[in-house]
Chains A and B, each alone.
Chain A
Amino acid sequence: MRLTLHIWRQSGPADKGRFATYELGSVNTHMSFLEMLDVLNSELIERGEEPVVFEHDCREGICGCCGFVIDGVPHGGQRGSTVCQLHMRHFSDGDELFLEPFRAKGFPVIKDLMVDRGAFDRIMQAGGFISVRTGSAPDANAIPIAHDQVEHAMDFAECIGCGACVASCPNGAAMLFVSAKIAHLGLLPQGQPERDARALAMVEAMEREAFGACTNFRACEATCPKEISISGIARMNKDWRRALLRGGTAVSGKRK
């Protein structure tokens, strides 16, 4: 199949950026979207042009590295899927596609389709962990947790931190990501001692970044490759409010 790609090219954070148009003559429908870009890049390298920069790692939808916006939808709009799991058979011959990086003030463009998601790391460092003595893996079921509780926590633990929630939010809010982390740990017994501090610290860290606020558009949950529910955002709001009213501090979440 033939494709016309309008790809955002930006040489660095300071560059203004622009779309460049590329024609691909013979795209194999069995290729993933990223493999199609690999083909484009090898053609560009042969022509002596700069290849298109995009982030990728596992290419099996679990690492959270890949992601850009195809025709206005992060990860391309296939429900519950990252862009590496999107195959060219979902497109038709002669399609014209617009490829843009995740656009948010909190995610500055590094180059082309690659953005700096360090904001998510800083939010995680503020409280997205439990303070325990580490060592070898604990025995399974050493701490009894009801099965439905485990499943519920797992629904939120699935978050791979790809940033599609921010990219699809008309407000550029990061609340689905932050709430997934708060809900995941808040649903497990190991997460209880630092639950208040975690909610306060992670929300505080989120507020320091240039993200917007939730207005319940629900675009995030529809775009999330792990289909994380916005019920997490309700949990985050509740944990934060309770912690605030109990006069909690964000400090005890930090390691001594």
Chain B
Amino acid sequence: MNPITGIYTTTVGKKILMAVTGIILVLYVLAHMLGNLQIYIGAERIDAYARLLHSMPPLLWFARAVLLFCVLVHIVAAVQLWLRNRASRPVKYRMFRPPEVDLAARTMVWSGPILLLFIIYHLLHLTTGDAHPNYEELAPFHNVVVGFAVWWAAGIYIVANLLLAFHLYHGVWSLFQTLGWDHPKWGPCRRYLAAAIAVVVGTANISIPLAVLAGVLHQ
């Protein structure tokens, strides 16, 4: 079988696409989180970081193109699999209590779409500034502090990052299964890694709007 048709025409292959794009997106989320945390060092530091990223437009746009591509592949594969999964049980159970199904696994199907909406809002809010009350180019410290002073905007970020943590908890563990990375010895550690990434990313990202609301970060 031709690998490309094999990957695209089977559910096992589509899951591989989701896992590989998922890895790239998780790595980006981790890098983005590390970038964000520089806000605690001070306004000069994070503003300098923004100028650094924008000093290399080809690299910046290449990264954006890769991320956009990954997001699209991830979503297309997810929707196709979701449709197939829905079609697999045309007559529903009167009573259905599948055991062991955890909250993170059950909520993937809507944490995904909500995260997509959040990413669009996030880009309009802190990248283009269209959804921001007083946006300044290349001044992330100012934009974050002013943006999160609006309580509901901070609330959206907090809720979205909680969902992101759930999505990562199930997604990171799942991708190991999908790619067949398992071992009797270190297999159980996959759960801990997923939990660690979810907790670290969730806590770090949520801390920023909370710090603004609590007055720890101010101009």
Contacts and interface: CB of A to CB of B under 8 A. Distances in A.
Interface of A: 6, 8, 17, 19, 69, 71-73, 77, 98, 100, 103-106, 168-173, 200, 203-204, 207, 210-219, 221-223, 230-231, 233-241, 244-245, 247-250
Nearest to A238: B180
24 contacts: A69-B93, A71-B95, A71-B97, A72-B97, A103-B89, A105-B90, A106-B88, A170-B85, A170-B106, A171-B85, A172-B85, A173-B85, A173-B88, A204-B10, A207-B9, A207-B10, A210-B87, A212-B11, A222-B98, A222-B100, A234-B180, A234-B181, A235-B182, A237-B12
B97 A103 contact: no
B99 A73 contact: yes
A57 to B, nearest CB: 25
B1 A249 contact: yes
Given A8-B94, A214-B178, A219-B98, 6 more contacts: A105-B90, A170-B106, A207-B10, A215-B108, A218-B100, A247-B1
B178 A237 contact: yes
Contacts of A170: 85, 96, 98, 101, 106
A217 B6 contact: no
Contacts of B127: none
Nearest to B78: A215
Of B1, B14, B15, B93, the most chain A CB neighbours within 10 A belong to B1
A213 B11 contact: yes
B84 interface: yes
B57 interface: no
Interface stretch (B38-46, B66-74, B168-176): B168-176
A2 to B, nearest CB: 20
Nearest to A211: B88
B180 A172 contact: no
Interface size grouping (class) on chain B: 35 or more
If over half of A's interface residues share one DSSP class (helix, strand or loop), that class is named, otherwise mixed; here it is mixed
B135 to A, nearest CB: 39
B81 interface: yes
Contacts of B98: 72-73, 168-170, 217, 219, 222-223
Contacts of B94: 6, 8, 19, 98, 100
A233 B177 contact: yes
B96 A72 contact: yes
B117 interface: no
A236 B106 CA distance: 23
A115 to B, nearest CB: 11
Contacts of B173: 216
Nearest to A101: B91
A237 B90 CA distance: 27
Contacts of B85: 170-173, 212-213, 215
B24 interface: no
Contacts of A231: 182, 184, 187
Contact of A217 (B1, B9, B105): B105
B7 interface: yes
B91 A237 contact: no
Contacts of A172: 85, 88-89
B10 A217 contact: no
B179 interface: yes
Interface in B1-29: 1, 3, 6-7, 9-16
Nearest to A213: B11
Contacts of A214: 11, 15, 177-178
Contacts of A250: 1
